[in-house]
Chain A
Amino acid sequence: DAKTTQPNSMESNEEEPVHLPCNHSTISGTDYIHWYRQLPSQGPEYVIHGLTSNVNNRMASLAIAEDRKSSTLILHRATLRDAAVYYCILKEGGSGGSNYKLTFGKGTLLTVNP
Chain B
Amino acid sequence: DGGITQSPKYLFRKEGQNVTLSCEQNLNHDAMYWYRQDPGQGLRLIYYSQIVNDFQKGDIAEGYSVSREKKESFPLTVTSAQKNPTAFYLCASSIRGRDNSPLHFGNGTRLTVT
A contact residues vs B (CB 8 Å cutoff): 30, 32, 34, 36, 41-46, 49, 51, 87, 91-95, 97, 99-107
Contacts and interface: CB of A to CB of B under 8 A. Distances in A.
30 contacts: A36-B102, A36-B103, A41-B88, A41-B108, A42-B108, A43-B4, A43-B105, A43-B106, A43-B107, A43-B108, A44-B43, A44-B90, A44-B103, A44-B105, A45-B105, A46-B102, A49-B100, A87-B42, A95-B97, A97-B50, A97-B56, A99-B99, A100-B31, A100-B50, A100-B94, A101-B45, A101-B59, A102-B33, A102-B103, A103-B45
Interface of B: 4, 6, 31, 33, 35, 40-45, 48, 50, 56, 58-59, 88, 90, 92, 94, 97, 99-100, 102-108, 110
Contacts of B97: 95, 99
Contacts of A87: 42-43
Contacts, number: 67
A92 B99 CA distance: 7
